[in-house]
Structures are given as C-alpha cells and as structure tokens.
Amino acid sequence: MEWLLSYMHKKWPYKQVNRFDQERLYPIYYAFKLKYGLLQNTESHSVLKPENVKPIFYPHDGIRPFWQLHISSINSE
C-alpha cells in the first residue's frame, strides 16, 4: 500500500491500457489510514474527503464497489 500510495500526488509512470485514474488511490489511502494511521508525505498534500471521492469503481480498478459505505459507517460512530 505504501508503495502504491507514494504515487498519490505524482504522475503514474507505468504504461496503462486506459488512463490511470488517480481517484483509485483514495480508497486505498483511507483503508491505510484507518488501519495504520497517517502515511508520511501524504498529509502535506490536499486529499479529497471520503464523501467527495466517487463511490463506485469498475472491477478492473481493484477497488470494491461502494467502498464508501464502510468509511461512512465508521465516521458516524
């Protein structure tokens, strides 16, 4: 997760079939933050709030659909 998130505010350097969607990193970022706390070198950048990241990703993105349902239930406690 840390390696992948190191590209959060950088251009994705690897060849892709489709354009790399930077928003794919946000569910991973919030899962990391929930389990391990803050990640170095990401908090200095602006990050979208969970409710502002699109809620649905295609299966090939590697992000489960409706990822925010888990985050929103944690925020409401």
CB atoms within 10 A of CB 9: 14
Angle of helix 25-36 versus helix 68-75 axis, rounded to 10: 40
- pLDDT 10s digits, 35-57: 888 777 655 567 788 878 877 77
Task: Measure the CA–CA gap between 12 and 14, rounded to whole angstroms.
Answer: 6
Q: Return the pLDDT at 41.
A: 63
Long-range contacts of 69-73 (CB under 8 A, 24+ apart): 71/30, 71/34
Model's pTM, two decimal places?
A: 0.68
- Please give the structure tokens belonging to residue 63: 């992000």
Provide the residue ranges of all domains of the chain, joining segments of one domain with +: 2-75
Q: Return the pLDDT at 65.
A: 64
Task: Measure the CA–CA gap between 55 and 43, rounded to whole angstroms.
Answer: 22
